């Protein structure tokens, strides 16, 4: 009798497993994901250790909301990590859908990128997502080590020559602002044709080659501001937010005496019809109201119409 009972029991167990295979798989996935130990390393020397209103450094890299996912992606980029794996907890049922959506949202990723140090900004970022909720982020960064070394030599030089401890923020930053503009030309070719022999799209262009687009101006100034230990980030108005044809625009935000101010080297270094070089201070350490006033006139200007739900420091400042 026993020789028939044992096979029968085994057969019933197999049938039970097959009938409930999906529930068992889900249970195992949840059990496994809830017991994963994250490997969290140290950030590099360019990691920002302060938070912003839109993005914060993640405390545990366990997401429970869409905003947590934004913070995790920001933190991975901000730390300068090339690869990082985290997991969706079972409580966050929309986690996989949300990270899939976020990883494909190039506009949101671009805005997140603006809050990190330029040397930690990504060139490409990809996420691999499994059904069990394992998420691996792979980052390729914009700057090469050789470029960073050359730019840092330039930054050391101008800070040594132009920054004086005895002077206030306005005087010191004005000298740096003026020096960069006086030694840089706007890269019209890249702006018009989308390509150029200069690396004007990042800090290497203005620092080493003497040519920049708005990205290059903003990156170089952000590197200098971080070196001088000012809290700062880059502000972007994208072409999606402008009613007429435009590639969008990017500039700097800096915190001075608990107030966030705008700093736009590109628009203080205008391209002239007469071929002469001009140096303005219309967009140098100005409030949002002052920047909008500088934009006002007979010509419609929308390049500074940034999204205040992302760059929230200015919304708070303006309301206070």
Question: What does the DSSP 8-state code read for residue 56?
Answer: -
Whose CA is closest to 201, among 250, 145, 267?
250
Which residues partner with 255 through β-bridges? 260
Give the model confidence (pLDDT) of 123-169 as tens digits: 999 999 999 999 999 999 999 999 999 999 999 999 999 999 999 99
Does residue 30 surpass a pLDDT of 50? Answer: no
Taking 80 as the threshold, does the pLDDT of residue 19 lie above it? Answer: no
Per-residue pLDDT of 96-113, as tens digits, reads 999 999 999 999 999 999
Give the C-alpha separation, 170 to 223, whole Å.
18
Percent of the chain with pLDDT over 90: 79
Give the Cα separation of 195 and 179 in Å (integer): 26
Could you tell me the two tokens for 182?
């006086």
Amino acid 20: pLDDT = 52
Answer yes or no: is pLDDT of 55 > 90.
yes
Three-class SS state of 136:
strand
Q: CA–CA distance from 31 to each of 39, 122, 132, 235 (Å)?
A: 19, 34, 10, 42
Q: Return the sign of the alpha-carbon dihedral for residues 48, 310, 268, 292.
A: negative
pLDDT in tens, 251-279: 999 999 999 999 999 999 987 666 677 89
Burial of 41 (0-12, 13-18, 19+ CB in 10 A): exposed
Residue 33: which pLDDT band, with cuts at 50, 70 and 90?
A: very low
- Higher pLDDT, residue 128 or 192: 128
Domains and CATH numbers, the chain: 31-141 (no CATH), 145-319 (3.10.620)
- Could you tell me the end-to-end alpha-carbon distance of the chain, in angstroms, rounded to an integer? 86
Any alpha helices (H) in 85-168, and if so which ranges?
95-103, 106-113, 145-162
**Res. 192 pLDDT band, cuts 50 70 90:** confident
């Amino acid at each position: 009798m026993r020789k028939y009972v044992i096979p029968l029991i085994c057969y019933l167990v197999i049938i039970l497993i097959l009938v409930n295979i999906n529930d068992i798989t889900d249970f195992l996935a949840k059990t496994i994901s809830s017991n994963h130990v994250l490997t969290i390393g140290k950030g590099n020397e360019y990691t920002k250790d302060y938070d912003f209103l839109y993005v914060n450094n993640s405390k545990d890299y366990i997401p429970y909301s869409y905003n947590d996912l934004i913070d995790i992606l920001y933190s991975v980029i901000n730390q300068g990590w090339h690869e990082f794996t985290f997991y969706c907890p079972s409580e966050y049922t929309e986690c996989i859908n949300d990270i899939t959506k976020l990883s494909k949202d190039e506009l949101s990723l671009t805005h997140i990128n603006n809050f990190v140090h330029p040397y930690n900004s990504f060139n490409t970022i990809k996420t691999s997502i499994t059904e069990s909720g394992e998420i691996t982020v792979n980052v390729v960064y914009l700057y090469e080590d050789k470029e960073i070394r050359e730019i840092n030599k330039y930054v050391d030089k101008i800070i040594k020559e132009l920054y004086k401890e005895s002077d206030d923020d306005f005087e010191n930053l004005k000298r740096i602002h003026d020096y960069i503009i006086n030694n840089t030309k706007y890269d019209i070719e890249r702006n018009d044709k989308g390509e150029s022999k200069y690396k004007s799209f990042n800090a290497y262009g203005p620092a080493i080659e003497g040519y920049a687009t708005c990205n290059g101006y903003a990156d170089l100034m952000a590197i200098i501001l971080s070196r001088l230990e000012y809290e700062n980030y880059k502000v972007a108005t994208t072409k999606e937010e402008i009613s007429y044809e435009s590639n969008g625009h990017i500039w700097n935000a800096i915190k001075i005496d608990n107030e966030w101010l705008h700093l736009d080297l590109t628009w203080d270094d205008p391209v002239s019809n007469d071929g002469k070089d001009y140096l303005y201070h219309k967009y140098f350490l100005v409030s949002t109201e002052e920047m909008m006033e500088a934009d006002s006139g007979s010509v419609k200007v929308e390049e500074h119409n940034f999204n205040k739900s992302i760059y929230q420091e200015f919304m708070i400042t303006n309301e206070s």
